A and B are shown apart, each in its own frame.
Chain A
Amino acid sequence: MSLAGLSFNALPPIRLPFRFFITAPIFILLCTGLIAYSGPDLWLGRWQPPMLALVHGFTLGFLTMVMLGALLQLLPVIAGIGIPHPELLAPLTHGLLSVGTLMLLWGFLQFHSSFILAAMWLIAIGLGIYISALFWVLIKHISQGDSLLGFRLAISSLLVVVLLGLALLGRYLGIEWIPPSKHLTNVHALWGLVGWAGILIIAVSYQVIPMFHVAPSFPLIVRRFLTPLIFIGLLLSIALPSYSLPALSLLQGLFALVLLLVIHRRKRKVPDTSIRYWQLGASALLLTSVLFFIPEGIWNEYLDIDKTLLLTALFMYLYLMSIIEGMLLKILPFLSYTHLQQRCLIDFTAMQYIPNMHEFFDKRHGQWLFYSHVISGLILIWVLFQPSYYFIFAIALVLESTGLLVIMLKTMKLYFAVDKKISQAAKDRVEPPTASFKNT
């Protein structure tokens, strides 16, 4: 461990993560438009072009967008240093990824090769820059902790997802880097959902749950071996999917159980919406893992729905999205407070201007958002069985994403107002108001 480069208050400017966060619900709103426009046919199978567009709008536009924004802030705290040149790299990645994702969605919907090509370049460069910067941080890291290994594996998974995604897109353009195969598409999806998003959430949970909810640490054996085993499972999925999928499903179920147990044993039991999101997510993950083991024969006899579609929806919407939305509710006031508090290290008296956590973010709004997420999640499952009710899901999703957007905007507005007040107070002290000069 080296002392060089250590900086305890080197948080990148708050507008950088805010930029990623604010874009995320806007992509959900776009997805809603797509759901309303595509009608019931969208839900007939996972290979429909509008479904491909919807899934990528959600995974790149929402999930990845929030995760990249959160990593900007998490790394300086967890690894001891942040990404290099954040003021340059973060907006660049954000811009390229946003435009690239839009191009990709349009390319899928219209089968338009020039949009696909543009999307490939934009996403490859945008995520390539970010991934390189993250690897740089994780090589140079100066802290210690169980989360770091998980971060490395999650980012390596993202690299695999991007490379495989590019190769699959290449086939649209007649570039045959890989043979035609639905198996490779499944591998791409698995690495994205279970590797990039799933491993990152596990690594973050090791840190966040014990600290903010005064819960016991996750068992050492889990912290040491779970994420590497998942990563090995993902590697095996390339060659031996029939063995690796049950193993991965078991590992996910195990994590869900341990997570529920750790949460249950927390000492800090004041009502907290973000912990309810964690519980909802863990329950959905457990259910996904149990349903996976129902044999196809029995499944088809009793359930008139594509198994993969239902399990993916449960995993993506009720597990991944629940955790990420719940984390946003914690991260937004946390970041706002931490940034303002760091400013007051120099000017202690300005502490009086900083609102407390509940003033930054009204707890009731968080509860409403949670209920709206539960409702939209249940409606989504219902729509998978009855696609003709798709518009009800679209309405629920509009309400939820608008709610999230409004909560974010309110917190950010308050942040900038207080920030201005602190600057004004500092200025007033350096240059006393002219009126007081006249009086003396």
Chain B
Amino acid sequence: MTSIPDYMTAKHRECDEVFSLAESNAAAGDWLLAAKNWQAFKDELLTHFGQEEETLFPAFEQATGMTNGPTHVMRMEHQQMRALLQDIDQAMKGQDKNTYLGLSETLMVMMQQHNMKEEMMLYPMMAQHLSQGEDIIESFKA
């Protein structure tokens, strides 16, 4: 059985790794490979957002009664990251290396400050307040 912090944190790292691959490919001008890794990153990131927004956040809100607190901020930041994904899609299509790298650095900063808040505060709180946490994670793995 895996805990919420362990599983979700590991997913952050996996996202970071695919993200870095796509970024290195773009920096080297290998757009074909960059597009493939970028797509893999987006799929992974959006699945992760979905698991949080549709399952974990509602469960946390129900358990704590905090609907307008941290999960609300996290949801808004997800929206901002989704917007950045679209901007990077455009740079990728236009094979515009400088814009791609500027935006990918931006997304990196946004993801990391977002991840820090989740990993250091929100996930440990979820582990504390959600008695069925490990079952939820098992359902994600399935």
Chain A interface (Cβ < 8 Å from any Cβ of B): 1, 3, 6, 8-9, 77-78, 80, 142-145, 207, 211-212, 214, 267-271, 333-334, 337-338, 341, 344-345, 348, 351, 356-359
Contacts and interface: CB of A to CB of B under 8 A. Distances in A.
Contacts of A3: 64, 66, 69, 125
B76 A77 contact: no
Given A211-B115, A270-B23, A341 B98 contact: no
A337 B64 CA distance: 31
Nearest to A270: B27
Interface residues of B, number: 40
A334 B102 CA distance: 12
Contacts of A144: 120, 124
Nearest to B79: A348
B62 interface: no
B132 interface: no
A270 B110 contact: no
Nearest to A334: B109
B116 A77 contact: yes
Identify the 10 closest CB pairs spanning chains A and B, nearest first. A358-B102, A356-B102, A357-B105, A143-B120, A268-B20, A8-B73, A345-B76, A356-B106, A214-B16, A357-B106
A220 to B, nearest CB: 14
A1 B124 contact: yes
A80 B125 CA distance: 12
B80 A348 contact: yes
Contacts of A337: 106, 109-110
B99 interface: yes
A65 B38 CA distance: 40
Contacts of A338: 109-110, 113
B16 A344 contact: no
A351 B86 CA distance: 13
Nearest to A268: B20
A348 B20 CA distance: 27
A209 to B, nearest CB: 12
B24 A345 contact: no
A331 to B, nearest CB: 11
B125 A211 contact: no
B90 interface: no
A6 B121 contact: yes
A1 B129 CA distance: 11
Contacts of B101: 270, 358
Interface in B106-142: 106, 108-110, 112-113, 115-117, 120-121, 124-125, 128
24 contacts: A1-B125, A3-B64, A3-B66, A3-B125, A6-B69, A8-B73, A8-B74, A8-B117, A143-B120, A143-B121, A144-B124, A145-B120, A211-B112, A212-B112, A267-B17, A267-B20, A268-B16, A271-B27, A337-B110, A345-B73, A345-B76, A345-B80, A358-B101, A358-B105
Contact of B20 (A77, A78, A214, A358): A214
